[in-house]
Structure 1
Amino acid sequence: MNVGELVAIDMHTHAEISSRGHTSLPDELDAAAGAYFGTEHRRPTLPEIAAHYRERSMACVVFPVDAEAATGTPAVPNEEVAEAAREHPDVLIPFASVDPYKGRLGAREIRRLAGEFGVRGFKFHPSLQAFHPNDRLAYPLYEAIEETGTIALFHTGQTGIGAGAPGGGGIRLKYANPMDVDDVAADFPGMRIVLAHPSFPWQDEALAVATHKPQVHIDLSGWSPKYFPPQLVHYANSLLQDKVLFGSDYPLISPDRWLADFAALPLKDTVRPKILKENAARLLGLGTPQ
């Protein structure tokens, strides 16, 4: 991957369909997410994701979400994501997902995926997976992530999954308070963490955690930048300028739309390249951007 030639690094894209055509969300939750984002929810394949980003001279972190214990639906296989990244190393950066209810079995899976497949990080979606990040059931997984030097990425705040469905599709928002991740950051100081999304309704909590814990970052995915809370923009432009990361939430939000709205934010010229590429390159160990 030639980081110097990239326009941006998107830290948040989803692998939503396997090579065999199965999806990782029940139909009700999937339909609710499409309605929430106001899009026709097309699910690109991994090669299509690679082509989409290559056309834009961007790279992206791509991952499935393993919530099989809660939903009964298997995730897109982690190995497929890793193999696609091997086939498209110029644009795809592989993350994986392991259901926290797998416990020590999940920890072994994390070590295998990091060691054999070169996976760079692991995605958790507490609301969908139905667990509090500071629940000790997940600690064996964090031990493995810290040991392998990979990254833990946590969904935080509101979610479009289940939004508008009866009872929210059974999804509970309480699991996505970033203060739970503060405990994790304190207990695993060697584990790099990303809080995904503007953390509505806990934006101030997310900013406090990222300011206080040196290994905690924030990605800006899942929202158009024109809707960002003012305090998030302020911190991104000042105290957290080295810890905030571009993320789209593709395919639910396109990088084109996100970047067009990002251009209108009142950010310093020195801060924009940090958010778009430099911070992610450093976090991912991709070298110094030129």
Structure 2
Amino acid sequence: MKPRTRLAGALLLCACPNEQASTGATASATEATTTDTDASDATTTAATTTPVTIPACEKQAIATQAAADLRCPCEVEAGAYPDVGGCVADLVATANTSCVCDLEADPLHAPYVACLADAAVGYQGCLEPLGCAQEDAYFTCNGQYADAVAACDKAAKASVGALTIQCNGGPAFACSGGGTISAQYVCDGQPDCKDMSDEAEATCVFVCEDGQQIPAFDRCDGTPDCDDASDEATALCYFACDDGLEVPANWVCDGHVDCVDETDEAACP
């Protein structure tokens, strides 16, 4: 596909803030090998082969841009996007690599960012030989990428939570003793808060009106789990807007107006 011939130039457009430093290091190494005529052959060879370390977030950004350039002509051909530019911009924005770069600055999260970068590079390599007609192969690449990211998740739960909250705007759970974790890890059987409040009975168990106990995440899921159906009671599961409209209680203070009169977002901290 023609867009693939533009990858070399396009890759330079998406990099993290430390790109200039990396570029400068490369230029300095090149100058050292071409202008120092008094240096020995051994020194010249060593300077020429010295690798320049690219930060993981930058590597991920470059691979993400490349993968978008490879995918988008096919997405346009399939009718998923009206033009290649809009598709590329959407996929790059979804990756949110600038926020990932912020995470990399913390040593706690650096290994996770490096794993994500390797997954992105692998995805790019999987896409490169494919044509638009090879839909099954595209799905295979998507699956391999998802598996690679999942493998990163298993080794870095705290980092995944930070990425979810900081970069993707996911909901957070406030630990009783201070600090926050991603809400996706509440009541998963593994304490993530230092005080273990994310696994406390008061957090993870719902007591039905008749005394029966059920997992808290079964409350207000649309299916009665209490014998008396008190886990699906309207007063528990819905918020009454001032104008009489009822919306799910978990929509209150979520940053999106759902009541016509906006009362679901009126008293939020």
Q: Which has the higher helix share?
A: 2
Q: Which has the higher strand share?
A: 1
Higher relative contact order (CA 8 A, sep 6+): 1
Give the structure-1-normalised TM-score.
0.25
Give the structure-2-normalised TM-score.
0.26
Q: Highest Rg: 1 or 2?
A: 2
